[in-house]
Amino acid sequence: MEKPFAITLNPGSSLANHTGSWRTVRPEYVSRLPPCNAACPAGENIQGWLFHAESGDYEQAWRALTENNPLPAIMGRVCYHPCENGCNRQYVDASVGINSVERFLGDEAIKRGWKFATQAPISGKRVLVVGSGPAGLSAAYHLTRLGHQAVIYEAAELAGGMMRFGIPKYRLPREVLDAEIQRLVDFGVELHLQTKVTNILDTLKKGFDAVFLGVGAHIAKRAYIPAGDANKVLDAVSVLHNMEDASAPMLGRKVVVYGGGNTAIDVARTAKRLGAEEAIIVYRRTRDKMPAHDFEVEEALQEGISIKWLSTIKEAGESDIMIEKMALDENGFPQPTGEFERIEADSVVLALGQDTDLSLLDNVPGLIVDKGLIQVDKGMMTGHPGVFAGGDMANNERTVTVAVGHGKKAARAIDAWLRGETYAPPPKHEIATFERMNPWYYSDAPKTMRPVLDIIRRQSTFDEVLGGLDESNAQFEARRCMSCGNCFECDNCYGVCPDNAVIKLGPGKGFKFNYDYCKGCGMCVAECPCGAIRTVPEEN
């Protein structure tokens, strides 16, 4: 077409006009740390694996998950999910049921027989791992991923540490535990049972380049309670451990558990399942001070466990115990009142905490032990070079999740140490706080509740109390994730730019800005649902 001068123009020719020069601030894509990830002691990239679950690619989700944690089926049951406490969705309706999706993925992996795949070339290094609890299994797994030969020495006849000997079956079915351990063995982890290490330095000399200690805390703390000969005073560690033996402990009709932690709850609920008519927890403070998790207390109460608050056991008689009432002083500490009560009890189980058996570390130079805990640096290395430690023996939190996190951290540090380097974790992104997000865009979707076993079966069997999600509701739950601080390719930036200055790179590749035309209006930043774009001042 021979066009008239000036009044008729060629289509789209405004591309010659680079409006980017108008800009005083520029948008930039960022990845912010989702609060769930920030809260996860195991360092899981939760948002990252939920991303795959959202589209139904569960295997990819499981693979993303297991980059950090090799035990999702276990963790999906026993983790106290601090991630959910951090979840930004709680400010919209309720936190995403991350834990339930994790369990779904873990169970799916067992059902489908998914295996780990190695990535790194074989290094030829052998690393000893002492103990097959969560810390040890995690360390062994990550060492294997990094190309090293992990060799676990486990003193007990079965692997799993406290996951087997501390957590009751109704919370963690043993076939789940066995499956996840077997997968690690299939992955190449050498597992030697009934192999107790008595002197670590001697054992190290048998061809190991480094060692990770994850021996746990299996020694029950005791409290002095005057007791008659006939009265049974037991400790929680032994009771729960014996549950795994052929002979279940004889606790009697009326069982008193002394303590306020999760272990106390576990023992009381176990006693109930063993046939006790009454299981009573005696705790010296109030419910809000109780270290046990609220939901576990709630489940225990549902199952008929009773709790004596503000009480201490003064003495244990033949068929009863004497309790002294306490009162909180102005600082919130319980003080004796001089008021006493007797309650019937066939046995008393002490659940007052555990200590670690550190005898294998005798004579190791450089080690520092403080209040029963072995002291480690940021890379989980003890004062003795090449000796690393984690799990219950190195911290007071004593959860499976923390232990798994320790194992991972230590494995990375060991890998660096073996190469004569020091492991430097990548810098942490700033937290994706709720204020940085635009929650308008998320569909209204309340949390999916997991099915709960009915009360009668809970009082009489060790069947798992909490059920899992099926595929449809696991996906629903995954899709409740708001992908805080991380692009989930919603196309909002691409769509809302009045200047077409966002380039779509294709599935999985995200977007980039075309700064030739971006005027810096900031609409993409304001309308990004998940806060994955920020504005920075233009320099010139």
Q: What is the DSSP letter of 209?
A: S
Does 515 bind another protein (CB under 8 A)? Our answer is: no
Under rule CB under 8 A, residue 230 binds another protein: no
Closest CB 52 distance from another protein, rounded Å: 11
| Residue 198 makes contact with another protein by CB under 8 A | no
> CA 533 to CA 31: how far, in whole Å?
8
Candidate ranges 59-67, 84-92, 213-221, 526-534; the one touching another protein (CB under 8 A): 526-534
Residues 158, 494, 515, 538: which binds another protein (CB under 8 A)?
494
- Which tokens is 246 given? 């052929």
CB of residue 88 vs another protein: minimum separation in angstroms? 14
DSSP state at residue 180: H
Instruction: Please tell me whether residue 520 binds another protein under the rule CB under 8 A.
Output: yes
Identify the residue among 241, 525, 531, 532 touching another protein (CB under 8 A): 525
Q: Which listed residue (42, 517, 531, 532) binds another protein by CB under 8 A?
A: 517
Give CA–CA dist 46/486, Å, rounded. 11
509 near another protein (CB under 8 A): no
The residue among 56 and 385 lying less far from another protein, judged by its C-beta, is 56
User: What does the buried/exposed string (b/e) look like for 11-24 if buried means 16 or more CB atoms within 10 Å of the residue's CB?
Assistant: eeeeeeeeebeebe
Tell which one of 124, 368, 491, 512 touches another protein (CB under 8 A): 491
104 binds another protein (CB under 8 A): no
Among 275, 453, 514, 515, binds another protein (CB under 8 A): 514
Q: Segment 461-480, which members bind another protein (CB under 8 A)?
A: 476, 479-480
User: Of the listed pieces 184-192, 308-316, 329-337, 484-492, which binds another protein according to CB under 8 A?
Assistant: 484-492
Number of residues near another protein (by CB under 8 A): 62
Which range binds another protein by CB under 8 A, 9-17, 165-173, 241-249, 371-379? 9-17
Told to check if 504 binds another protein by CB under 8 A, we report yes
8 binds another protein (CB under 8 A): yes
Report if residue 537 touches another protein, rule: CB under 8 A: no
Find the binding residues for another protein in span 380-409 (CB under 8 A).
Answer: none
Question: Which amino acid appears at position 47 of this protein?
Answer: Q
Asked whether 390 and 135 are in contact (CB, 8 A), the reply is yes
Task: Please state the closest distance from residue 452 (CB atom) to another protein, in A.
Answer: 22
Contact flag: residue 3 with another protein (CB under 8 A): yes
Nearest distance in Å: CB 528, another protein: 10
Task: Please state the φ and ψ torsions of residue 127, each to the nearest 5 degrees.
Answer: -120, 130
Q: What are phi and psi of 53, to 5 degrees?
A: -65, -30
Measured distance CA(249)–CA(135) in Å, rounded: 28
**Dihedral angle sign, alpha carbons of residues 374, 409, 426, 485:** negative
CA distance 99 to 76: 5
**483 contacts 52 by C-beta, under 8 angstroms:** no
Q: Which of 256, 257, 481, 532 binds another protein (CB under 8 A)?
A: 481
CA-CA distance, 531 to 522, in Å (whole number)? 12
Nearest to 274 by CA among 349, 216, 209, 363: 349
- 248-287 residues near another protein, rule: CB under 8 A: none
Q: Which stretch binds another protein (CB under 8 A): 114-122, 217-225, 270-278, 488-496?
A: 488-496
| Interacting residues with another protein between 35 and 94 (CB under 8 A) | 54-55
Please give the torsion angle defined by the CA atoms of residues 64, 65, 67 and 70, in that order, rounded to the nearest 10 degrees.
-140
21 touches another protein by CB under 8 A: no
DSSP 245: S
Q: Which one among 175, 457, 500, 536 touches another protein, defined by CB under 8 A? A: 500
Taking the C-alpha atoms of residue 149 and residue 132, their distance in angstroms, rounded to an integer, is 15
Is 122 a binder of another protein (CB under 8 A)? no
DSSP, collapsed to helix, strand or coil, labels residue 520 as coil
* Cβ proximity to another protein, 34 vs 70, nearer residue: 34
Q: Which residues contact 384 (CB under 8 A, 6 or more apart)?
A: 364, 365, 366, 367
Contact assessment for residue 71 and residue 137, using Cβ atoms and an 8 Å cutoff: yes
DSSP 431: B
Cβ(214)–Cβ(376) under 8 Å?
Answer: no
Inter-residue contact 536 to 529 (CB < 8 Å): no
Q: Which of 247, 443, 472, 540 binds another protein (CB under 8 A)?
A: 443
Q: Which stretch binds another protein (CB under 8 A): 169-177, 218-226, 249-257, 442-450?
A: 442-450
Point out which residues bind another protein (CB under 8 A): 1-19, 22, 54-55, 440-445, 476, 479-483, 488-492, 494-501, 504, 506-507, 514, 516-517, 519-523, 525-527, 529
